Amino acid sequence: MLPRLFVDEMASAGDAIWVGGEDGHHFSRVLRASLGEALVVCGPGGPFFAEVAEVRPGEICVRLRERAPSHEPKRSFVLVQGLAKGEKMDVIVQKSTEVGAAGIVVFEGERSVVRLSGEAKVAQKLARWRKIAREAAMQSQRDVVPFVAWAPALDAALAALEARGIRLALVLDEEEKATGFLSAIRDGALDGGAAIVVGPEGGLSPAERALARGDARCRTVTLGPRILRTETAGLVALAIALAETGDMGG
């Protein structure tokens, strides 16, 4: 398994790219990268096989070779997660990245136990979650780092999804009995991707549930008779969705 490196600039085969900052330090100082060492570079141009062309203290130069096979799902599934307490959000971001989420939108649910007050606190949490997503993407051999965004409420999260072209949100609802998650995946129009909405520890509030049931973008669905914790439900749903669309299980 080759180490993976993410860059922000558009690139093509034959290009040489200097990488500094935290990644440059990690490869040059921690991993002690050597000339000619093979790796995979991921960026807007796609994943490329590459080799280390030069090493300096705190930075490396990589030269891109041929394209590498893509590891990304064919369908995009975004996790819309109600803000959870403690380290649960860190675990949710990490594991959903590993499983294959295209992005994570965290919203402050009416029943969220914790609150993020003020822009500084939100920015601090977003920086942490994005760092976790980046590290998890490297470890799990992703081609892209999932986006991580914040919404102050469920309706704002739905608006953020539509701005990204996602017009189907499958809302996990413990009160739903008629429509199963798997049947909704099979029946849904997934060309533009879909979102999976999970409430916080206390679940969705009556107002949030009513919002979901009255919104044309949403379908309330059930994962079955057992009640899953907030940190479990989204990962199970992601795995089911990706398996059903051919991106898990081989």
Q: What is residue 29's predicted lDDT score, i.e. its pLDDT?
A: 84
| pLDDT value at 191 more than 80 | no
| Residue where a domain terminates, one of 67, 99, 117 | 67
Tell whether 44 and 97 lie within a shared domain: no
Q: What is the pLDDT of residues 13-22, one digit of tens each?
A: 899 999 999 8
- 56 lies in some domain: yes
| pLDDT value at 78 more than 90 | yes
- 101 lies in some domain: yes
Tell whether 100 and 120 lie within a shared domain: yes
The rounded mean pLDDT for the chain is 93
Tell whether 183 and 163 lie within a shared domain: yes
Quick one: three-class SS letters along 50-69? Answer: EEEEEEECCEEEEEEEEECC
| pLDDT value at 26 more than 90 | no
| Residue where a domain terminates, one of 67, 96, 114 | 67
- 249 lies in some domain: no
Radius of gyration of the chain (CA): 20
Tell whether 38 and 157 lie within a shared domain: no
Q: What is residue 52's predicted lDDT score, i.e. its pLDDT?
A: 95
* 3 state SS of 226: coil
In which band, very low, low, confident or very high, does the pLDDT at 31 lie, cut at 50, 70 and 90? confident
- 250 lies in some domain: no
Q: What is residue 242's predicted lDDT score, i.e. its pLDDT?
A: 96
Domain count, the chain: 2
Tell whether 45 and 141 lie within a shared domain: no
**Cα separation, 154 vs 173, whole angstroms:** 14
Structure tokens given for 165 = 């072209």
Q: What is the pLDDT of residues 97-119, one digit of tens each?
A: 999 999 999 999 999 999 998 89
Q: What is residue 11's predicted lDDT score, i.e. its pLDDT?
A: 81
Structure tokens given for 73 = 């799902």
* 3 state SS of 134: helix
CATH number where 202 lies: 3.40.1280.10
Q: What is residue 18's predicted lDDT score, i.e. its pLDDT?
A: 94
Q: What is residue 46's predicted lDDT score, i.e. its pLDDT?
A: 85
Closest CA to 70 of 107, 42, 29: 42
Q: What is residue 236's predicted lDDT score, i.e. its pLDDT?
A: 98
Percentage, residues of the chain above pLDDT 90:
83
| pLDDT value at 180 more than 90 | yes
Phi, psi of 227 (to 5 degrees): -90, 115
| pLDDT value at 235 more than 90 | yes
Tell whether 89 and 207 lie within a shared domain: yes
| pLDDT value at 188 more than 80 | no
Of 18-27, 105-114, 133-142, 204-213, the least confident: 18-27
DSSP state of 204: -
Closest CA to 218 of 159, 160, 171, 173: 171
- 200 lies in some domain: yes
In which band, very low, low, confident or very high, does the pLDDT at 145 lie, cut at 50, 70 and 90? very high
- 185 lies in some domain: yes
Of 1-5, 26-30, 63-67, 218-222, the least confident: 26-30
Tell whether 39 and 147 lie within a shared domain: no
Of 114-118, 149-153, 224-228, the least confident: 114-118
Burial of 198 per CB tally in 10 Å (0-12, 13-18, 19+): buried
Closest CA to 198 of 152, 232, 165, 166: 232
- 102 lies in some domain: yes
Tell whether 145 and 40 lie within a shared domain: no
User: Residues, the chain, total?
Assistant: 250
Boundaries of domain holding 33 = 4-67
